[in-house]
Structure 1
Amino acid sequence: MKTKILTLIIVITTTCVVNAQKINTEKVFGGYKYTQNNELISIGDLVSIMENNTKALEILKKGRTNRSLSGVLGFAGGALIGWPIGTSIGGGDANWTLAGIGAGLVVVAIPISSSSNKKINQAVEMYNASLSGTSYNNFKPEFKIIANTSGVGLSMNF
């Protein structure tokens, strides 16, 4: 009886630990939200979590670089759009060429941001797949009922 309880505890613990490490992705306004164990994770935390998975880490770093680039281009474009609008509202003579350049920067930043999100999500999916592939699927215990002079028992081999 003790062996059955111990076996059950081991199987439940292994299942819970594997599911606890999975990173969840949720689409929110303006991007994605990443959580692990119901706690919000930043992109920097994702890098430290994926250190052991080199392929996922490489893709994540490319996505992170693209995300930074799109943020800089988007910020600069927004500033170049906002400056002439503010000047115009203030009653001055606005330079609409700056607004056009800013709009161009924003248009360039949008596909870069989209590519960044795709790469980061691909890295998360690759990381999650590596968890389920190594931790859970390889754990296939074999149960046998054995009997000897001491009595009847349950054997678990893995």
Structure 2
Amino acid sequence: MKKHIITLFLICFAFGSSFAQNQNTTVEPEIEMKVSLLGYRFFKDGERLTWKELVKTTEAVEEANQLIKKARTQNVIANISAGVGGFMIGFPIGQKSNDYEPMWELAYIGGAILIAGFPFAIKAFNNVNKGIDNYNIAASPSTGYRFQPEMFVINNQNGIGLSLRF
């Protein structure tokens, strides 16, 4: 009777472990962000994403999507203030190089607009970083620690037994 119980246990264990190994989990590829002189570049599975595609891709994770939408708006404000401020600084410099009387007040105002855009650029960077991190954590559950004990049937000179490894 004892041999029948052990044999039944081993058969059940063999089938159970084979079914557990055959379960496929699909892992969503991570989004990568690279910062260059001209702005942000986003990549997913080797393909480049635009801001619009990034927002659409992250719709599955609400918190990440909201952070990325906010970062996109802040990035637009920072880019507009940088463009306007740069133009207003460059215009008097161009006047000076052509031997005209430069309007330095315009350059001062442009500098103030340029400096006012820095907080928006910093907030955009932080929000897009946080949003992409939140998406990557939520999309790939295998990144965190998962408790996966392993059970083995062992046979040695002392007899048959079970080994559990954590």
Match of 2:88 in 1: 80
Match of 1:101 in 2: 109
Q: Would you say how many aligned residue pairs link Structure 1 and Structure 2?
A: 136
Q: Percent identity?
A: 24
Structure 2 residue runs without a partner (length 5+) = 1-16, 152-166
Verify: 1:37 aligned to 2:11, yes or no.
no
Verify: 1:23 aligned to 2:31, yes or no.
yes
Verify: 1:116 aligned to 2:124, yes or no.
yes
Aligned pair partner of 2:140 in 113, 127, 132: 132
Shift of 1:33: 2.3
Change beyond 3 A, Cα 1:106–1:24: same
Match of 1:55 in 2: 63
Change beyond 3 A, Cα 1:114–1:89: same
Secondary structure (helix, strand or coil) at the match of 2:43 reads strand
Structure 1 residue runs without a partner (length 5+) = 145-158
TM-score by length of 1: 0.72
TM-score by length of 2: 0.69
Q: What is the distance in 2 between the residues matched to 1:96 and 1:132?
A: 54
Shift of 1:111: 2.1
Equivalent AA in structure 2 for residue 82 of structure 1: G
CA contact (8 A) 1:70 1:110 kept: yes
CA contact (8 A) 1:31 1:117 kept: no
Larger Rg: 2
Coordinate RMSD, CA, aligned:
3.0
CA contact (8 A) 2:29 2:140 kept: no
